[in-house]
Structure 1
């Protein structure tokens, strides 16, 4: 009996995200459940992964590319625009759903104990399942206009995707835990989602921001999503360009020597803060829900 007592854990305690890896089977079940619930009664199902970003792309392209004529100074503006949209959509969808994940699964949390981190992590995986079909469309469009990436550009795509997934997980843990106690957290996240598309060079080129901000351009570069979108443009858009001048303007200075490492450090810091906050607040989730 003494040996069994030594193996008992304090309710609500655990190893955080390490427990998610140990409970991979539960994670798969939650991902399947999220997808089934989201598309229950839907005619198109996962095809919405194509429809929503396509409509969003068309609206931005017509409004900005044609009406405001941004395509004149940006070769292959359609590729530039869509490359940014698919990455930002992955982040915003992951963050929004992770913020609501604990509250939305209140019935399950009140009944049994399982690593609470499973819920926000599962929503990021679901968002990844929506991201990959869009990525296939992006790759196909790039190939049509002569996309010839290097090995480093392909590796950069994987690295940036992982960085954005970690960033969304960290913020999802932070706001998901806070949302249990303060439902205003959802409104804060809604504002972040609204701002992030414009706070990153998705609809415009980074040089426009540099001209306006001048020596304060480094503040703009501190946003990890800004750096992530710039790397995505370097990986997808830059190989489709023909003129040396356009290639030279594709990415800002010191993107890989300075800003990408800084973005990764900030992302890991946010993940640490999110996990720390989540673990401290998760003990009383069941009571608060």
Structure 2
């Protein structure tokens, strides 16, 4: 016996989408208005009923910087081994802060918006994309502070310095979004994912040359491990930010403080980030039909 409604036989249904499934990230562009609403909601509610409001975007990185600078820079004398250590440190901290916030929020976003996922159909990719955009909005004030400090030190960027910054931002956005979609989709049926992400973020600051120089790793790590370390997207982004912001105000940094294959490592890191995004989107779409049921 046929399960198809006789009234529907012979109709062209090619223009109709399968319920619960969208067209992936590409469909986000068609829902730009809703994306803006989600971003506006998240940015408006984050500091609601807060006395300091948006100042918290400065307080956290300032506190991190102060702690790391005092402990590592003054107590462990890292400021003597790395010129302009304060600028070196802060240009790496803002990268890790963006990654940590975007990755963590992207992982929780579907669960946090379960009431929307259950009740209406919309491209579910909107939620991790909005989470990363909100993190980028919070990243901008920190970037502004970095630019002011760089200008104070006499920062005059070259074309290559600007290219390094843009490449670093692109890699950071793609990598963060890919991981957010991957772990965000897995977090719906398995809430252990967000706990696993917290463990990853514990190592994020130390797994890239934010608080130390990559040369310290090169002195003790075998070549194969050093290569893995250098193509880590987070390591690459931190290095590119150092190249763009710190090196122009530090004498001799371009010649001595970066690996010979910096741009090759950066290209591989971007490729890895794209692969992570593709895998994240694939897993997201595979689990998407069961999101409403699981939530």
* TM-score calculated relative to the size of structure 2: 0.94
Task: Give the SS at the match of 2:156.
Answer: coil
CA distance in 2, matches of 1:110, 1:186: 20
Once the two structures are TM-superposed, the CA of residue 12 in structure 1 deviates from its matched residue by: 1.5
* Equivalent position of 1:128 in the other structure: 136
Counterparts of 1:52-71 in structure 2, within 5 Å, are 52-71=60-79
Once the two structures are TM-superposed, the CA of residue 43 in structure 1 deviates from its matched residue by: 1.5
In structure 2, runs of 5+ residues without a counterpart are 1-7
* Equivalent position of 2:190 in the other structure: 182
> How many residues are matched?
286
CA distance in 2, matches of 1:78, 1:157: 18
Q: Is 1:36 equivalent to 2:48 in the alignment?
A: no
Deviations 1:205-242 (A, max 9, x none): 11011001142311211311101100110111100112
* TM-score calculated relative to the size of structure 1: 0.96
Once the two structures are TM-superposed, the CA of residue 5 in structure 1 deviates from its matched residue by: 4.3
Among 244, 259, 265, the alignment partner of 1:259 is 265
Q: Is 1:224 equivalent to 2:233 in the alignment?
A: yes
Task: Give the SS at the match of 1:37.
Answer: helix
Q: Is 1:153 equivalent to 2:161 in the alignment?
A: yes
* Equivalent position of 1:233 in the other structure: 242
CA distance in 2, matches of 1:249, 1:43: 46
**Contact 1:83–1:233 (8 Å) recurs in 2:** yes
Task: Give the SS at the match of 2:221.
Answer: helix
Counterparts of 1:27-176 in structure 2, within 5 Å, are 27-176=35-184
* Worse-superposed segment, 219-228 or 100-109: 219-228
Among 15, 23, 28, the alignment partner of 1:7 is 15
Once the two structures are TM-superposed, the CA of residue 155 in structure 1 deviates from its matched residue by: 2.4
**Contact 2:231–2:266 (8 Å) recurs in 1:** no
Once the two structures are TM-superposed, the CA of residue 250 in structure 1 deviates from its matched residue by: 2.2
**Contact 2:57–2:138 (8 Å) recurs in 1:** yes
Deviations 1:147-203 (A, max 9, x none): 111022112212211210110100000000000011110111101111010000000
CA distance in 2, matches of 1:199, 1:205: 11
Deviations 1:47-101 (A, max 9, x none): 1111110011000000100010100010000000000000111111000000000
Task: Give the SS at the match of 1:199.
Answer: coil
* Equivalent position of 1:286 in the other structure: 292
**Contact 1:174–1:273 (8 Å) recurs in 2:** yes
Once the two structures are TM-superposed, the CA of residue 3 in structure 1 deviates from its matched residue by: 6.7
**Contact 2:167–2:240 (8 Å) recurs in 1:** no
**Contact 1:231–1:251 (8 Å) recurs in 2:** no
CA distance in 2, matches of 1:281, 1:91: 24
Q: Is 1:271 equivalent to 2:280 in the alignment?
A: no
Once the two structures are TM-superposed, the CA of residue 4 in structure 1 deviates from its matched residue by: 7.6
Task: Give the SS at the match of 1:35.
Answer: helix
In structure 1, runs of 5+ residues without a counterpart are none
**Contact 2:87–2:246 (8 Å) recurs in 1:** yes
**Contact 1:76–1:241 (8 Å) recurs in 2:** yes
